[in-house]
């Protein structure tokens, strides 16, 4: 046992990720899957340890992240789950599609805890504070053992952290059990381990064309912890990238991810895109699809940039000033081949504002990014913007100004049908 060997090596970068690093990592994983995380840095040339790459992928680059403010329902669900599961953030996150354990942990520590206390509820035990104060605070029944061992606080030192068995959580809340919480806000829980679940239209729409509402929130509620609708990506000290959460996404149909390793044909989908693949039957993903998002020409001040986008394709937001007048389009294609399962994700453009300071070599010149073809899916790298755009227009057409013209329902139906057809569900 011990620390990751690469952590001992020097010259490894730490701190915030630059767009260039993100791009490298994303390109690599979309193309090959991550396989062994420890080998990712070598394969990508990143000066990061595998652990850091994994974390960046899971918490940030993964295409199925929901982003946006936590809804009240989500908060309630977190509280419910925490009551049962304790600080097992990963298990809690498993019940909240598109949310990461880190996100939830942050939300809990920064906001929910406080709220509960304000309501007179002890966040550790979920019991009234008065009850705790009345002397039974010693070992609350509901506190898991590790918390008991440490008095229910986080005031323990890292080096003395014990691994103590916690009480068995209610079975229906475990990730492996797809049963929803009866009569609770968690009725929509989708088991991430249940490979027999049949995806429904609602599932796809909810999962992949998700949370229009949350992404269009126009301000950060002062009483809620969550993301600013104008997500800000910190790229080192030299650049701050303000990213409009306007969702955009494409699937790259031409590249053949996972071919480095044959096992990737189906399994790597699971590893690279856990929440998605874990919720669908492990059939080969034989359809080709792509969602291409052309952008306006970059302009000064506010310009568009290729970057990671998430599976909120087709939703839009008018919360940012940097996306006005831009169009996003989606193209989906399908074929009937179930060979050569290909399924990759890529970058799409979106509105960005970057305030960069000059200086360090790692600084990214975003104007260069905009002209750099590697950020584009292989399918469109060799096309002119015009041809891409016209291709896309013929399919579906979304705008980012808050409206979804062009027969949205037809578009979403088509989207679902093609997606589901690809999974062999229709």
Partner DNA sequence: AATTAGATCAACCGCAAAATT
Partner DNA sequence: GAATTTTGCGGTTGATCTAAT
List residues binding DNA (CB under 7 A).
1-7, 13-17, 35-39, 48, 50-52, 54-56, 59-60, 87-91, 101-103, 105-107, 109-111, 114, 146, 154-159, 161-163, 220, 222, 224-228, 231-234, 237, 240, 271
* Smallest separation (angstroms) from DNA to the CB of 181: 19
- From CA 248, how far away is CA 353, in angstroms rounded? 17
* Smallest separation (angstroms) from DNA to the CB of 223: 8
35 or 377: CB nearest DNA:
35
Report CA-CA distances (Å) from 250 to 52, 171, 311.
25, 37, 9
231 or 412: CB nearest DNA:
231
How many residues does the structure list for the chain?
A: 426
* Smallest separation (angstroms) from DNA to the CB of 281: 21
Q: Name the strand (E) or helix (H) holding 89.
A: helix 89-94
* Smallest separation (angstroms) from DNA to the CB of 411: 30
212 or 220: CB nearest DNA:
220
- From CA 43, how far away is CA 53, in angstroms rounded? 12
237 or 337: CB nearest DNA:
237
103 or 331: CB nearest DNA:
103
Judge contact between 30 and 16, C-beta under 8 A: no
107 or 291: CB nearest DNA:
107
2 or 359: CB nearest DNA:
2
Quickly list DSSP for 5-57: GGGGSSS---SSPPHHHHHHHHHHHHHH--SSGGGHHHHHT-SS-HHHHHHHI
- From CA 40, how far away is CA 30, in angstroms rounded? 12
* Smallest separation (angstroms) from DNA to the CB of 214: 12
134 or 153: CB nearest DNA:
153
* Smallest separation (angstroms) from DNA to the CB of 344: 19
Query: Could you give the count of Cα atoms lying within 13 Å of 82 in the half-sphere of its Cβ?
Result: 24
* Smallest separation (angstroms) from DNA to the CB of 289: 26
- From CA 379, how far away is CA 377, in angstroms rounded? 5
* Smallest separation (angstroms) from DNA to the CB of 5: 5
| Strand residues in 157-295 grouped as ranges (E) | 231-235, 239-243, 251-252
Judge contact between 44 and 24, C-beta under 8 A: yes
> How far from the centroid of its chain's Cα atoms is residue 66's Cα?
5
Q: Give every CB contact of residue 299 below 8 A, 6+ residues apart in sequence.
A: none
């Amino acid at each position: 046992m011990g620390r990751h060997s690469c952590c001992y090596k020097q010259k490894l970068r730490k701190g915030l990720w630059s767009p260039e690093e993100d791009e490298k990592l994303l390109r690599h994983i979309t193309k090959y899957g991550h396989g062994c995380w420890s080998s990712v840095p070598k394969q990508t040339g990143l000066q990061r340890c595998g652990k850091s790459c994994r974390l960046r992928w899971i918490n940030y680059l993964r295409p199925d992240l929901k982003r946006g403010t936590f809804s009240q329902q989500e908060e309630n669900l977190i509280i419910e789950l925490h009551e049962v599961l304790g600080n097992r953030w990963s298990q809690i996150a498993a019940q909240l599609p598109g949310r990461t354990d880190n996100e939830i942990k942050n939300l809990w520590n920064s906001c929910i805890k406080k709220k509960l206390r304000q309501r007179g509820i002890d966040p550790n035990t979920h019991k009234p504070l008065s009850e705790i104060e009345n002397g039974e605070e010693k070992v609350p029944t509901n506190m898991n053992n590790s918390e008991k061992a440490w008095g229910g606080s986080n005031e323990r030192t890292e080096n003395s952290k014990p691994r103590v068995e916690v009480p068995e959580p209610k079975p229906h809340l475990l990730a492996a059990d797809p049963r929803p919480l009866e009569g609770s806000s968690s009725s929509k829980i989708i088991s991430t381990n249940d490979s027999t679940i049949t995806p429904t239209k609602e599932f796809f729409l909810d999962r992949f064309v998700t949370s229009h509402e949350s992404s269009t929130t126009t301000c950060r509620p002062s009483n809620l912890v969550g993301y600013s609708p104008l997500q800000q990506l910190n790229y080192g000290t030299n650049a701050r990238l303000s990213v409009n959460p306007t969702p955009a996404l494409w699937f790259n149909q031409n590249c053949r991810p996972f071919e480095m390793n044959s096992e990737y044909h189906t399994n790597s989908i699971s590893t690279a895109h856990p929440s998605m693949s874990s919720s669908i039957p492990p059939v080969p993903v034989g359809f080709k699809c792509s969602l291409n998002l052309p952008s306006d020409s970059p302009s000064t001040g506010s310009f568009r940039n290729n970057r990671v986008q998430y599976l909120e394709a087709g939703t839009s937001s008018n919360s940012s000033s940097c996306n006005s007048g831009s169009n996003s389009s989606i193209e989906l294609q399908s074929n009937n081949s179930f060979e050569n399962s290909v399924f990759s994700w890529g970058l799409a453009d979106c509105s960005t504002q970057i305030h960069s300071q000059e200086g360090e070599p790692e600084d990214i010149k975003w104007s260069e990014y905009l002209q750099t073809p590697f950020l584009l899916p292989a399918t469109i790298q060799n096309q002119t913007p015009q041809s891409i755009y016209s291709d896309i227009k013929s399919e579906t057409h979304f705008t980012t100004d808050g409206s979804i013209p062009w027969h949205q329902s037809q578009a979403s139906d088509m989207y679902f049908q093609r997606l589901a057809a690809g999974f062999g569900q229709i």
